[in-house]
Chains A and B, each alone.
Chain A
């Protein structure tokens, strides 16, 4: 077992009377990509910004790379890279100049041109920031977060507002980061993003973790397979833990009666179903 990069125990944070984070615990191993998934207002940014050292916690224990982020010090900040949910960089500097400016803040920065290459901005190296597209600016954000060669990278909703092509490009980049051995904590409210990128996912709702595990674990949590078909124009839905036997019976019977199983589908619940189920409980509350 690799040592944990992040350990969070019973983390709590309130704004006034509103409890934004209500006892959250998780661990992230070194080199792991961990996804904090949840709808807007679930407490993702609050959690991440406590780990980054921006916000004070009201309760619980937190260790990030062996440091308490509430006592944020330069040694700690040498080792983290932060992409904020919202921030802008200087419009009048070039891509390379911004990277160089940030590289100067670190003891052992990564070669600037290498970082620019990694985030796919080589062609835009000498372009002013104001001439970049939205997706390119976000890549610049990531480049600036990587220039200090951090062990741990925080990405708060890295693709929110992207078009599909830009999202896929961003995913490629995040995969490239993982292959560099970086630990990554990413938040998202897109399920497919968590499914695509994260080794492990925690689903956050109203300040609590309602489910945690690998994307496969989360879907595997529901054992039922869904079988749908139409009979006499009516939709039939069967949920079963033994799909092989049930299907065999259905097809045998249909063949015997010379019928077609119209519109037959067999599916395992996706992470999306689980997610919708988990976050829909909100309405009952």
Chain B
């Protein structure tokens, strides 16, 4: 536990020290919220459109932090030989990785709070009534996307290509899943593709909790899909995660 807290502290220090990471992972979704909430006006599902935008951005943020942020961080450290180096020290692998994961989770929780506060200030969006469900769903989403990100690192072979690879997955997924605003006006094909993606179900969960004040348990199907993707990511990670740079 001492080791875990020690590493968590340094993970937070590292994250906030690195301006690019702090901007793309933490601030960028906030910026998107400001932009999108001024584009989508009127109502959606009987609520002001800004509410749906907010819910979508929470979904995008989970994928952006958990999946993209984590995958980029780990590939970067792997390719610079840093993970390999850490392996020669007594800190156990699971403690190190847990600290990295929990640090990302924390960052997403901060971000969710920041989005909610920003929404309230700019668009008078409410704080969620089902606060506990909201917290649980945020943790579920961040954890599932982190597991997917962990598995995805094994597909990336270089630090240079990692940003392109991650965004190639993240941006279309967010677009198709309602991360950048409601998808009701999308064509059938696009919506069908979205139907297999975890982010769509995660956004649905956030809609249900945030727009309709449902509890998280009201959508067990969506929970199952998000969790299944997370488990799949974790299984790939267990089999394929590597600590050493990809050579040659």
Contact = CB atoms under 8 A, between A and B. Distances in A.
- Which of B84, B85, B88, B244 has the largest number of chain A CB atoms within 10 A? B88
B3 A105 contact: yes
B84 A77 contact: no
16 contacts: A54-B87, A77-B88, A77-B89, A77-B90, A82-B85, A86-B81, A86-B245, A88-B80, A92-B17, A97-B10, A104-B7, A104-B10, A105-B89, A105-B90, A105-B91, A106-B90
B113 interface: no
B121 interface: no
Interface residues of B, number: 22
Interface of B: 3, 6-7, 10, 13-14, 17-18, 80-82, 84-92, 244-245
A13 B151 CA distance: 29
A54 B18 CA distance: 29
Contacts of A97: 10, 13
B10 A148 contact: no
B187 to A, nearest CB: 45
* The 7 nearest A-B residue pairs measured at CB: A87-B81, A82-B88, A92-B17, A104-B6, A74-B90, A88-B80, A105-B91
A52 interface: yes
A203 interface: no
A34 B92 CA distance: 29
B22 to A, nearest CB: 10
**What is the predominant secondary structure among interface residues of chain A facing chain B?**
loop
B89 A102 contact: yes
Contacts of A106: 89-90
B152 to A, nearest CB: 22
B88 A53 contact: yes
B92 A74 contact: yes
Nearest to B245: A86
A26 interface: no
Contact of A80 (B3, B80, B88): B88
Given A92-B18, A104-B7, A105-B3, A54 B89 contact: no
A92 B14 contact: yes
B202 to A, nearest CB: 31
Given A84-B84, A89-B82, A101 B90 contact: no
Contact of B82 (A52, A90, A92, A105): A90
A77 B87 CA distance: 9
Nearest to A102: B89
B84 A54 contact: yes
Contacts of B82: 87-90
A130 B13 CA distance: 16
A189 B6 CA distance: 39
Contact of B85 (A84, A93, A107): A84
A93 B3 contact: no
A27 interface: no
Nearest to B19: A92
A78 interface: yes
A83 to B, nearest CB: 9
Given A87-B81, A87-B82, A90-B14, A52 B88 contact: yes
A148 B86 CA distance: 12
A256 B95 CA distance: 84
A184 to B, nearest CB: 15
A54 B89 CA distance: 12
Contacts of A92: 14, 17-18
Interface in A88-139: 88-90, 92-93, 97, 101-102, 104-107
- Which of B6, B10, B18 has the largest number of chain A CB atoms within 10 A? B10
Contacts of B81: 84, 86-88
A87 B84 contact: yes
A78 B3 CA distance: 14
Contacts of B84: 54, 84, 87
Contacts of A84: 81, 84-85
B90 A107 contact: yes
Nearest to B5: A104
Nearest to A87: B81
